Amino acid sequence: MTDSPANSSHTLREILTDAVRYWERRRMLYNLVLAAVVLIWLVATWPHFRSMLNIRALLLMFVLATAANVCYCAAYFADLLMQYSFFQMSWLRWRWGLWLAGMLIATLLANYWIVDEIYPYVS
C-alpha cells in the first residue's frame, strides 16, 4: 500500500473533522504551557514585575495570547496540505512533530518577548 491520496477515500469533511479533532485537543496544552512560562517569570522575578500588573499590561497579554492562538491555527494549513499529499499516511503518524516544533518555537518566543521587551523596562 502506498501513501497516495488516490488510494484514500477520505472526503474533505472527514479530513477537516480529523484536523479539528487533532489540533483542538492539543490547543489547551499549548495555552497551558505558554501560561506557565508567563507565571514562572512572574513568580521568579516577582519584585521586578509588580509594577507591570496593570490594566494596560493585562490588555497587552490578552492581545499576545490571541496572537499566539492565531499562529496556532497555521498548523491547520500545513495539516490539510499534507493530508492531500502523497505522504498522507506518514503525515498522520508524524504530525505530532509539527505540534512539538510549534510549541517549542512559541515557548522560545514567549521567553524572548519577556526577557527583551518586558524585563529591561521593569523597575
pLDDT tens, residue by residue, 5-27:
444 567 889 999 999 999 999 99
Which pLDDT score is estimated for 114? 83
3-state SS, residue 22: helix
Q: Count CB neighbours of 107 within 10 A.
A: 15
Domain chopping of the chain, boundaries: 5-121
pLDDT tens, residue by residue, 28-38:
999 999 999 99
* Ordered DSSP codes for 68-102: HHHHHTHHHHHHHHHHTSTTHHHHHHHTHHHHHHH
pLDDT tens, residue by residue, 91-119:
999 999 999 999 999 999 999 988 887 77
Which pLDDT score is estimated for 8? 54
End-to-end Cα distance, the chain = 63
Which pLDDT score is estimated for 123? 53
pLDDT tens, residue by residue, 51-65:
777 888 788 888 889
Which pLDDT score is estimated for 57? 78
53: closest CA among 37, 39, 67?
39
* Cα–Cα distance measured from residue 24 to residue 69, given in angstroms and rounded to the nearest whole number: 11
* Ordered DSSP codes for 46-70: HHHHGGG-SHHHHHHHHHHHHHHHH
